[in-house]
């Protein structure tokens, strides 16, 4: 991986969330263990190869965001990473906010990294 990083000036990667949610009459807010309110539709944090998180230098482009639609059908959210610092990719961990909804299911699709 270090060799690819040394030879590349930029990199890109796509991550897709496939989501099946309950109908929209369910609440989208919940209390965390500390008592503070959390939003169900908060974006996940992505952690890159160099350990930077998406709330610092590694910021994805949200191409399509249908996972917040709660109608009982499968939907998708597409995140695309493109960076001039190739050491930020691949994504090595995703910290996602869990759902309190009983029938909420997710499938994660991790795309390959393209080093340029």
Let me know if residue 103 belongs to a domain: yes
Let me know if residue 27 belongs to a domain: no
Q: Is 107:16 a contact under the CB 8 Å cutoff?
A: no
Let me know if residue 34 belongs to a domain: no
Let me know if residue 88 belongs to a domain: yes
pLDDT in tens, 24-70: 544 444 444 444 434 445 678 889 998 877 666 678 999 998 988 88
pTM tops 0.85: no
DSSP letter at 98? P
- In whole angstroms, what is the distance from residue 105 CA to residue 92 CA? 22
Let me know if residue 29 belongs to a domain: no
- Residue with the larger pLDDT of the pair 107 and 103: 107
- In whole angstroms, what is the distance from residue 44 CA to residue 95 CA? 6
Among residues 65, 46, 66, 63, the alpha carbon closest in space to that of 55 is found at: 46
Question: Domain range spanning residue 45?
Answer: 2-22+41-115
Q: Any idea what the CATH number is for the domain that residue 82 is in?
A: 2.60.120.1000
- In whole angstroms, what is the distance from residue 19 CA to residue 84 CA? 30
């Amino acid at each position: 991986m270090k060799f690819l990083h040394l030879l590349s000036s930029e990199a890109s990667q796509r991550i897709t969330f496939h989501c099946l949610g309950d109908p929209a009459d369910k609440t989208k807010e919940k209390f965390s263990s500390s008592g503070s309110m959390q939003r169900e539709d908060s974006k996940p944090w992505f952690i890159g190869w160099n350990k930077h998180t998406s709330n610092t230098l590694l910021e994805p482009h949200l191409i399509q965001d249908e996972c917040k639609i709660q109608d009982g059908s499968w939907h998708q959210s597409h995140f695309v990473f493109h960076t001039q610092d190739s050491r930020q990719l691949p994504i090595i961990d995703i910290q996602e906010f869990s759902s309190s909804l009983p029938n909420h299911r997710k499938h994660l699709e991790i795309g390959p990294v393209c080093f340029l």
